[in-house]
Amino acid sequence: MLSAQIVNNFKNLKILCIGDIMLDKFLYGEVERISPEAPVPIFKITKEKSMLGGTGNVIANLSSLGVKTFYIGAAGSDDSSVMLEHFLKQTGCDYSFIKPQGFPTTTKIRMIANNNHLIRADKETFLQMDENLLQELRKKIEAVIQKADIVLVSDYKKGLLTLESTKMIIDVCKKYGKKVLVDPKERDFSKYSGADMVKPNLKEFELVSGKKFDTSAKDFKQKIKSEALDIMKKYSINNLLITLSKDGMIFVSSDFEKEPVHIPAEAKEVFDVSGAGDTSLAVLGASIAAGLKIEDAMKLANLASGIVVGKLGTACVSPMELKSAVINHSSDKTLAQASKIISKEEAVEIIKDLKFQNKIIGFTNGCFDVLHLGHIHSFAAAKKECDCLFVGLNSDSSVKRIKGEQFPLQDEKTRAYVVASLEFVDYVVMFDEDTALELVKALKPDVIAKEGLKIDNWPEAKYVLSYGGRAVELERIEDYSTSAVLTKLDEMKTNGALNV
């Protein structure tokens, strides 16, 4: 059975990534008018963001999960390569570039207005591998390969992975007894001969096979198996894993007696598929290196892909997101909100991951004994101030000290589940103190929001302001409170309308 514990073991792994790396730039902005110079929209830039792309996104995902990574590839001697090295250092990756003269670092610039991609501009030149570069590449690989538990090869068809260089990489991996997983781009799979696993998407698989496949057909699995076996035999590939987008993924072994393993997709709402294949490769490689059976490795990779496609832009999956997804996947679906109820220690780790992704962390708190419209309004308003909203919840003992022994009306587990069920709330964290100050000191949110309090009487807000955060005094909706609900119940009891 797939366990969330396996994610904790990723920190003990070492993985070598080889492939085409690039710099991803995102320009966010607005389009409000058409240029007077030509019939084109004027894009007003409001925010810029750069990150690792291509194989770099595989590295970023592995690093986010705690894996020690090594990288070998090609880059130019330009500003983009300086940024690449900066980001690689941030991940803790041990990297080594070949830098051919005159070769520019591959850079992709995306312009996004109101979450819609307007245009992508690429700066790239196909790398011309010669014998000298090939030998330099081999030396770099041989220098680190013995440290790696597994090797991931990510082909973006930018010139690094030629027929000769890819064959060399696979031969070196076999020489040192290292498994090699390939994310392909070529139609000619002879390039990947000898690989332990090749992971094409369905479109790539169809191009290689020359056939179309209907994932809804009853005989889909058998047709895929038949064609996959032919491809693996022809190109001396041990296993094929075909990703099927909304239909999940299917694994076919070169052992014809074994039946294909097909698992469905996990994504509930897709915002952006950018980098989902990189995330899948990273988690699949880490899972196999950690000793998971292929079906469990596929499930974990599938869960990870489902997380990142729910985010805008190229994104990474964090350990806590993945562990929560595993727990949610294996638990009773009626209790799925349990994955949002976390400890202070877990919250601290999640926030580290979120801040690495430049997410704005929000915080609010309360007892939330009898949830009413005033609470809902506050949660919704607080969520507008941040990307991820953490809610501090007073424990039962804390509520009793503050409000009296007759409170809370509902125990802490019930209150936590109710709050976690709200779409505005990302995580619920219990605290036992009389105030949320110690929790706020641990989480250090970017913004704190609450209704009914002024800064002078709000210690948590003063602390957030002390390190440059924001404090937002939310507007109160009058006539909605737990006291008002209890008063109404007392009136109904007195009038005989309520039998208790």
Q: Which among 486, 491, 290, 488 is positioned nearest to 404, based on CA atoms?
A: 486
pLDDT for res 165:
97
Residue 399 is assigned to a structural domain of this protein: yes
Residue 25, classed as helix, strand or coil, is: strand
- Please indicate, yes or no, whether residues 170 and 233 belong to a single structural domain of this protein: yes
Distance CA(22)–CA(123), nearest Å, equals: 10
Other beta carbons less than 10 A from residue 462's beta carbon: 14
- Please indicate, yes or no, whether residues 267 and 401 belong to a single structural domain of this protein: no
- Please indicate, yes or no, whether residues 322 and 408 belong to a single structural domain of this protein: no
Residue 499 is assigned to a structural domain of this protein: no
pLDDT for res 276:
79
Please state the separation of Cα 345 from the chain's center in Å.
20
Residue 335 is assigned to a structural domain of this protein: no
pLDDT for res 223:
95
CATH number at 481 reads: 3.40.50.620
- Boundary-marking domain end, from 306, 330, 354: 330
pLDDT for res 172:
97
Q: 152 with 58: CB under 8 angstroms?
A: yes
The first and second tokens of residue 129, run together, are 């591998």
pLDDT for res 493:
64
DSSP for residue 360: P
What residues contact residue 265 under an 8 Å CB cut-off, 6+ apart? 244, 245, 246, 247, 248, 302, 305, 306
The count of structural domains within the chain is 2
Residue 342, classed as helix, strand or coil, is: strand
- Please indicate, yes or no, whether residues 287 and 269 belong to a single structural domain of this protein: yes
Residue 496 is assigned to a structural domain of this protein: no
- Please indicate, yes or no, whether residues 411 and 275 belong to a single structural domain of this protein: no
What residues contact residue 185 under an 8 Å CB cut-off, 6+ apart? 155, 156, 157, 204
Residue 495 is assigned to a structural domain of this protein: no
Distance CA(289)–CA(15), nearest Å, equals: 8
Q: 13 with 286: CB under 8 angstroms?
A: yes
- Please indicate, yes or no, whether residues 352 and 315 belong to a single structural domain of this protein: no
Burial class (CB in 10 A: 0-12, 13-18, 19+), 346: middle
Q: Which domain holds residue 424?
A: 340-490
- Boundary-marking domain end, from 330, 349, 364: 330
The single residue of 278, 369, 426, 446 carrying the catalytic annotation is 278
Angle, in degrees to the nearest 10, between helices 319-330 and 294-308: 110
Active site includes 24?
no
Whole-model pTM above 0.85? Answer: no
- Please indicate, yes or no, whether residues 347 and 311 belong to a single structural domain of this protein: no
- Boundary-marking domain end, from 330, 360, 386: 330
Mean pLDDT, each 10-residue run in order, the chain (500 residues): 78 97 93 93 92 95 95 96 96 96 94 87 94 97 97 96 97 97 93 96 94 92 95 96 90 90 69 69 95 92 82 70 71 60 85 85 93 89 96 93 88 90 93 95 96 88 96 78 58 59
Distance CA(224)–CA(337), nearest Å, equals: 37
pLDDT for res 487:
60
pLDDT for res 484:
57
- Please indicate, yes or no, whether residues 97 and 244 belong to a single structural domain of this protein: yes
Burial class (CB in 10 A: 0-12, 13-18, 19+), 226: middle
Distance CA(226)–CA(217), nearest Å, equals: 15
Buried b (16+ CB within 10 A) or exposed e, 71-93: bbbbbbebebbebbeebbeebeb
Q: Which residue has the tokens 């006539």?
A: 479
Bridge-partner residues for 30, per DSSP?
44
Other beta carbons less than 10 A from residue 200's beta carbon: 26
- Please indicate, yes or no, whether residues 300 and 348 belong to a single structural domain of this protein: no
The first and second tokens of residue 216, run together, are 């809804």
- Please indicate, yes or no, whether residues 248 and 151 belong to a single structural domain of this protein: yes
CATH number at 181 reads: 3.40.1190.20
Residue 200 is assigned to a structural domain of this protein: yes
User: ω into residue 184 within 30 of 0, thus cis?
Assistant: no
pLDDT for res 266:
64
Angle, in degrees to the nearest 10, between helices 344-356 and 319-330: 120
- Please indicate, yes or no, whether residues 307 and 226 belong to a single structural domain of this protein: yes
- Please indicate, yes or no, whether residues 194 and 170 belong to a single structural domain of this protein: yes
**Rounded to 5°, angle at Cα 270 from 267 and 274:** 105
Residue 184 is assigned to a structural domain of this protein: yes
Residue 454 is assigned to a structural domain of this protein: yes
